[in-house]
Structure 1
Amino acid sequence: MSRLVGVLVLALAAGCTTTASGGGAPPAEAPSGLKVEQVVGGLSHAWDVGFLPDGQVLVTQRPGKLTLVEDGRATDLVADLDDVQPRGEGGLMGLVVHPDFATSRLFTTCQTSREDVRLVTWQLSPDNASAVRVKNPLLGGLPVAASGRHSGCRPTLAQDGALLVGTGDTAQGSFSQDLANLGGKVLRIDLATGAPLPDNPTPGSRVLTYGHRNVQGVAVHPRTGRVFTAEHGPDVDDELNLVEPGANYGWDPSRGGTEPGYDESVPMTDLTRFPDAVEAVWKSGDPTEAICGAAFLSGAQWGDLDGVLAVSALKGSKLMLFTLTPEGGVHSVAVPPELDDTRGRLRGARLGPDGALYVTTSNGTDDELLKVTRG
């Protein structure tokens, strides 16, 4: 059994269910002493961030640019991105740098093409000037909408080395509940091959969880290995979910196949249709925040924020700090004033090797890569 699945199974056996703090959570006093610095500006819809061993930062820009940031300068890599379709919510999206990058120089992106949403593995040149595709695709066939709506697509490495990928349902009513479809899921695959891992809940399937609407953030707790996802709701109920392997999270705008369109009036977690569906550990209620990237703060430098889950918000234009319970529920939520409608829409959120939180903005013009620390 993998470490990820094993940790979650043990947690569930001990009674740590996602219903511990379902619904909203009380606000907490805003933390003091946060410092926000611009690393670089002049970006466009900066989507995700990866860190290289030499201290440089790789950034994906949704219109179709791979950008290397060093010493406050942004340089676009020479790379074949002609097939990237930056329409609506799609384009060049999520990013992971491979753990063996120091020797392999590999990283993987998630991007929309005309035919699908796909994961592509790249190799960065020795001079850091260009990148070539070495697995194209690592995994293809994720559904895509002509408008780009609900494209997902957030890849993150689990503690056992598995690649976790949060996907969107592309606004197709039946996809989230269809286990043969890769939309509206959290996938668990082999980073090297794209194949399903042998200890996935269903043998031969890449699906770890299903019944999602549009997963935008995937975060792994640095000590427990628990996996949390941030997901967009329709006009209500963005969700923060704790991943339970094999579980259904209850989104079904097809109403069991009886609705030919995309009925967004259904609950995000439809317990009437799916009594065993997993409830969210937190939901926004009304209004939604359009929560997005997610990362755990970790290290003594964060003080009482060590272990807090930081989640960016697009519509809400804020950073949300979730204090979790030992059971994996949400105890309280704080919003630091330094990132409360001060930088516009916030998209990516990743913890850097220096212990700082790196956040991207997604306003469309003069977007930023921000570094957040606690003084």
Structure 2
Amino acid sequence: MRFASHPGSSTFASAALLLTTLLATAPSSASAADRYPTRNFEVEVTEIAAGLEHPWAVEVLPDGAYIVTERPGRLRIIRAGEVDKPIEGLPKLFVGGQGGLLDVALSPDFATSRKLYLTASIPGTGGQGTALFSASLDKDERKLENLTQLFAMNRFTRTGQHFGSRIAIASDGNLFFGIGERGKMDRAQDPNDHAGSILHITPDGHPAPGNPFAKNGKGLPEIWSKGHRNPQGIVIDRKDDTLYTVEHGARGGDEINAPKAGHNYGWPVISYGKHYSGAEIGVGQAAEGYDQPLYYWDPSIAPGAIEIYHGAMFPEWEGSFLIAALKYKLLARIEHTDDGAVENEERLFQGEYGRLRDVKVAPDGSILLLTDEDDGKLLRVTRAH
């Protein structure tokens, strides 16, 4: 529920009249913050920028500006509320269905190297599939240089869904990212198919050391874990380097997982959801050899991204999962305690801003949100004073 605080009617009457006059003559581009209650305190939501077409991912640049992807195939800088022209030099993309330009992640040494990573759906033999690229942003922020395809999934098809695919960079610099099963369920159980997997590669595109099939040849060497339907969120907790994902179920069965090397997370053998037809999925909710989720939703909230809160602005939320949700247009906060408990979901901003696609914690502890709409917005959540 949206609400605003108001001064007392007597003491502040003259000031209120003056403020009303000033607001009436202020430029229309000035946007006031919306104010919301939470369990612990009040927050304010401010629009940083609008006019983005289905934005998919945001990162904060070293100088405090933002870099944002738009799914139709644009990469932009937002600085001081102004959305710059698209950056040139992107790879050839497949744009359609859920595909296009997807995630962006900054290399840990971006401030000096200007290096970043992108995931996208690209055309190729047999149709389209998910790929991962590295590039350098030129000093004028106008184009990408040294664009390199580090990875492409091994089987392209003409389906337009379940491309994944966000990126998490581990403390050793290696990359984790997810790919959905591309709308073909059984692909998630095939260790010789990149679909339905969490992948783990080095910054130059080679299989990362420690991958479960890298030595035994019983699966593709880039694969970290299998049995994922469509993991569109991935994050590494910087407190203990634990990897977490959030992924879409069918009609129910969205999951938070902590993927481990060589483990199988069940899709489509087990699930807490049902097919869109109402039919049961697989053998039920559990079976030997398949890991259980840490947390699941039924009905589905359609999770688009996951973040873990570490920051100074909201110490009460320390360690909480933050999940951007598309279906119910909300931000879910779930407490994640030091003893591993995942519980006490709180739903924020439901229905207020549209489909929430990405969530990031900024360096100052504020929270950034992207709305996946024709007129998409970049929003900032801060503590109300």
TM, length-normalised to structure 1: 0.83
CA distance in 2, matches of 1:104, 1:158: 18
Counterpart of 1:215, as a letter, is P
The counterpart of 2:46, out of the listed 31, 37, 54, is 37
Matched, 1:218 2:200: no
Q: Deviations over 1:81-110 (max 9, x none)?
A: 462111001100011111111221111110
CA distance in 2, matches of 1:71, 1:144: 40
| Alpha carbons 1:289, 1:316 under 8 Å: kept | yes
Matched, 1:162 2:174: yes
1:249 alignment counterpart = 265
CA distance in 1, matches of 2:357, 2:381: 14
| Alpha carbons 1:167, 1:185 under 8 Å: kept | yes
| Alpha carbons 1:251, 1:270 under 8 Å: kept | no
The counterpart of 2:246, out of the listed 227, 230, 241, is 230
Counterpart of 2:360, as a letter, is R
1:123 alignment counterpart = 136
What SS does structure 1 have at the residue aligned with 2:189? Answer: coil
The counterpart of 1:95, out of the listed 96, 104, 120, is 104
CA distance in 2, matches of 1:276, 1:264: 25
Q: Deviations over 1:215-253 (max 9, x none)?
A: 010122221222211100001111111222211001137
2:360 alignment counterpart = 350
Q: 1:134 to 1:97 in 2, by over 3 A?
A: same
Q: 1:76 to 1:138 in 2, by over 3 A?
A: farther
- The percentage of aligned residue pairs carrying the same residue is 29
CA distance in 2, matches of 1:167, 1:41: 29
CA distance in 2, matches of 1:212, 1:371: 31
Q: Say which one has the larger Rg.
A: 2
CA distance in 1, matches of 2:382, 2:224: 33
| Alpha carbons 1:235, 1:288 under 8 Å: kept | yes
CA distance in 2, matches of 1:82, 1:200: 28
The counterpart of 1:303, out of the listed 315, 318, 337, is 315
1:318 alignment counterpart = 330
What is the correspondence of 1:279-290 to structure 2 with a 5 Å cutoff? 279-285=292-298, 287-290=299-302
What SS does structure 2 have at the residue aligned with 1:199? Answer: coil
2:370 alignment counterpart = 360
1:5 alignment counterpart = none
2:205 alignment counterpart = 194
What SS does structure 2 have at the residue aligned with 1:48? Answer: strand
| Alpha carbons 2:130, 2:179 under 8 Å: kept | no
Q: Deviations over 1:52-101 (max 9, x none)?
A: 21222110000000011100011133323462111001100011111111
| Alpha carbons 1:46, 1:61 under 8 Å: kept | yes
CA distance in 2, matches of 1:35, 1:142: 45
Structure 2 unaligned regions, length at least 5: 1-37, 216-220, 271-275
| Alpha carbons 2:106, 2:117 under 8 Å: kept | yes
Matched, 1:64 2:73: yes
Q: 1:222 to 1:158 in 2, by over 3 A?
A: same
| Alpha carbons 1:58, 1:69 under 8 Å: kept | yes
- Tell me the CA shift for residue 320 of structure 1: 0.1
Counterpart of 1:360, as a letter, is L
- Tell me the CA shift for residue 132 of structure 1: 2.9
Q: 1:61 to 1:268 in 2, by over 3 A?
A: farther
- Tell me the CA shift for residue 269 of structure 1: 8.7
Counterpart of 1:209, as a letter, is S
Structure 1 unaligned regions, length at least 5: 1-28, 255-261
- Tell me the CA shift for residue 44 of structure 1: 0.8
Q: 1:311 to 1:145 in 2, by over 3 A?
A: farther
| Alpha carbons 1:145, 1:151 under 8 Å: kept | no
What is the correspondence of 1:132-211 to structure 2 with a 5 Å cutoff? 132-135=145-148, 137-141=149-153, 143-191=155-203, 193-203=204-214, 205-211=221-227
CA distance in 1, matches of 2:231, 2:340: 19
Q: Give the paired residue count.
A: 334
Q: Deviations over 1:291-329 (max 9, x none)?
A: 111111112321211111100000110000010133434
TM, length-normalised to structure 2: 0.81
Q: Deviations over 1:32-63 (max 9, x none)?
A: 22221111100011101122212221100000
| Alpha carbons 2:176, 2:200 under 8 Å: kept | yes
Counterpart of 1:239, as a letter, is E
Q: Whose RCO is larger (CA < 8 A, sep 6+)? A: 1
